[in-house]
């Protein structure tokens, strides 16, 4: 494509990084939809500039050809599914659609802690990724390379290990979320190309951020994936290679395959209880949320963003007919988790941006948890 050609002028600009979880998630979505984009590798200066444009300091941030902005991959994908409905990544059946949203959220939120644990708690992985960030996003920081690498490695370890509840006593429980998810993915992919059947859905897109940019690429989790999960490796490559022509003719997803049982079990027992702990803490104005993960007790700063995620899932569940709610209950088969989904949404602790963002919001940008300044 020639610079300045009409095609290029129509492209979205995805400001992000080629090693970023949520940038990878959004790229897989855009590739599956056939939406042209250019990924522009962030610097610390462009990270702040994008934050001023959208009000949130996070990546990716999407700049549209008309100068408006999209932020947050869940909201961005929701917006793009409305403006670019074909080929749809939402299953046709309401229960399957709810399950796709649940697994998207599980991928976004529950795999974040293990992904960051493998990246920053293992010495070889931390050294490699610290170097890549120092040469990449921090390339505009006027310090020698070794100081940039030391700064970013310590910052990531402080924010994403220590402050996110990863310690000697919880680490094995956090790592088990990854290895259990690999086993669940292997089962889901035994007979199908994608986790819900033979066409990709938002469930695949949500799982892709961690699976591609962290687990498939970072040395320690990638070795585990090679050893234990060849079907997941093939799925990562299949999804990265996807184009609309590769699946748009395939029949829509009309049911939730039994092969998803292990993934659904993880969403019900690992993910929903943590979301409920955040929602409870946010509603009570507490600074921290405590929950159990694989029998370890974890305490982390309460996240209004995760409280919002649970509200969205509750609203989606409660909008289903009584018969469809019954089907979800049977699929999740864990009464505690369906109790969480059936309870009333909590009062909103914050407002989500309305997309597209047409003018910079007033005030300083918020951090990725949407209520705290960026660390």
Ligand X SMILES: N[C@@H](CCC(=O)N[C@@H](CS)C(=O)NCC(=O)O)C(=O)O
The structure tokens listed for 93 are 């059946």
Q: Which of 65, 109, 52 is nearest to 271 (CA)?
A: 109
Our measurement of the distance from residue 261's CA atom to the centroid of its chain's CA atoms, rounded to an integer in Å, reads 21
Quick one: which of 12, 15, 22, 306 contacts ligand X (CB under 6 A)?
A: 22
325 binds ligand X (CB under 6 A): no
Report the nearest approach of ligand X to the CB of residue 368 (Å). Answer: 4
Residue 22 exposure: Cα atoms within 13 Å on the Cβ side:
20
Q: Is 349 in the site for ligand X (CB under 6 A)?
A: no
Of 72, 164, 193, 274, the residue at the interface with ligand X (CB under 6 A) is 72
Of 51, 58, 49, the closest CA to residue 17 belongs to 58
Using the CB atoms, write b or e for 203-241: b if 16+ within 10 Å: bbbbbbbbbbbbbbbbebbbeebeeebebbbebbebbee
- Among 54, 73, 157, 337, which residue interacts with ligand X (rule: CB under 6 A)? 73
Q: How far is the CB of 210 from ligand X (least distance, A)?
A: 10
Span of 31-39, 69-77, 118-126, 346-354 interacting with ligand X by CB under 6 A: 69-77
Give dist(CA 261, CA 231) in Å, integer: 17
Q: Kind of pairing, strands 12-16 and 37-41? A: parallel
Q: How far is the CB of 161 from ligand X (least distance, A)?
A: 12
368 contributes a contact to ligand X by CB under 6 A:
yes
CA distance 150 to 121: 14
Q: How far is the CB of 137 from ligand X (least distance, A)?
A: 10
Check: CB of residue 207 under 8 Å from CB of residue 21.
Answer: no
Piece in contact with ligand X (CB under 6 A), picked from 32-40, 67-75, 194-202, 275-283: 67-75
DSSP one-letter code for 242? -
Site string for ligand X, 74-113 (x = CB under 6 A): x---------------------------------x-----
User: Is residue 58 at the binding interface for ligand X, with CB under 6 A as the rule?
Assistant: yes
Residue 374 near ligand X by CB under 6 A: yes
Q: Of 257 and 353, which CB lies nearer to ligand X in the complex structure?
A: 353
Question: How many residues sit in the footprint of ligand X (CB under 6 A)?
Answer: 11
**Token code pair at residue 80:** 């793009």
Q: Which is nearer to ligand X, 73 or 259 (CB)?
A: 73
Among 17-25, 87-95, 320-328, 337-345, the segment contacting ligand X (CB under 6 A)? 17-25
Of residues 73 and 201, the one with the C-beta less far from ligand X: 73
CB nearer to ligand X: give 105 or 175: 105
Q: Are 59 and 240 in contact (CB under 8 A)?
A: no
Taken in order 60, 272, 214, 79, the sign of the CA dihedral is negative
* H or E stretch covering 290: strand 288-293
> Given the rule CB under 6 A, which residues bind ligand X?
20-22, 58-59, 72-74, 108, 368, 374
């Amino acid at each position: 494509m020639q610079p300045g050609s009409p095609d290029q002028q129509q492209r979205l600009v995805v400001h992000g990084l080629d090693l970023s979880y949520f940038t990878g998630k959004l790229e897989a979505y855009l590739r599956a939809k056939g939406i042209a984009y250019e990924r522009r590798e962030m610097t610390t200066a462009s990270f702040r500039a994008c934050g001023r444009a959208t009000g949130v300091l996070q990546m990716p941030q999407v700049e549209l050809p008309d100068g408006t902005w999209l932020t947050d991959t869940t909201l961005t994908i929701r917006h793009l599914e409305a403006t670019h409905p074909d080929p749809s990544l939402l299953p046709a059946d309401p229960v399957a659609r709810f399950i796709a949203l649940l697994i998207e959220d599980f991928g976004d939120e529950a795999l974040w802690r293990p992904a960051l644990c493998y990246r920053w708690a293992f010495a070889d992985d931390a050294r490699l990724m610290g170097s890549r960030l120092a040469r990449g996003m921090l390339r505009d920081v006027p310090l020698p390379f070794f100081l940039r690498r030391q700064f970013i490695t310590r910052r990531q370890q402080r924010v994403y290990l220590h402050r996110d509840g990863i310690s000697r006593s919880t680490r094995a429980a956090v790592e088990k979320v990854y290895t259990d998810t690999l086993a669940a993915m292997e089962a889901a992919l035994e007979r199908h190309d994608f986790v819900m059947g033979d066409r990709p859905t938002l469930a695949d897109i949500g799982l892709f951020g961690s699976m591609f940019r962290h687990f498939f690429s970072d040395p320690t989790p990638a070795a585990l994936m090679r050893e234990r999960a060849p079907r997941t490796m093939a799925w990562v490559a299949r999804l990265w290679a996807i184009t609309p022509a590769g699946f748009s003719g395939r029949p829509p997803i009309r049911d939730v395959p039994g092969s998803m049982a292990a993934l659904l079990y993880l969403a019900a027992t690992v993910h929903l209880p943590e979301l409920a702990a955040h929602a409870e803490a946010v509603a009570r104005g507490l600074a921290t949320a405590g929950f159990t993960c694989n029998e370890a007790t974890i305490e982390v700063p309460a996240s209004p963003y995760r409280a919002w995620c649970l509200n969205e899932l509750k609203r989606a569940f409660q909008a289903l007919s009584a018969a469809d709610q019954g089907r979800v209950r049977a699929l999740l088969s864990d009464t505690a988790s369906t109790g969480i989904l059936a309870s009333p949404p909590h009062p909103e602790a914050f407002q989500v941006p309305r997309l597209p963002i047409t003018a910079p919001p007033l005030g300083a940008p918020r951090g990725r948890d949407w209520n705290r300044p960026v660390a």
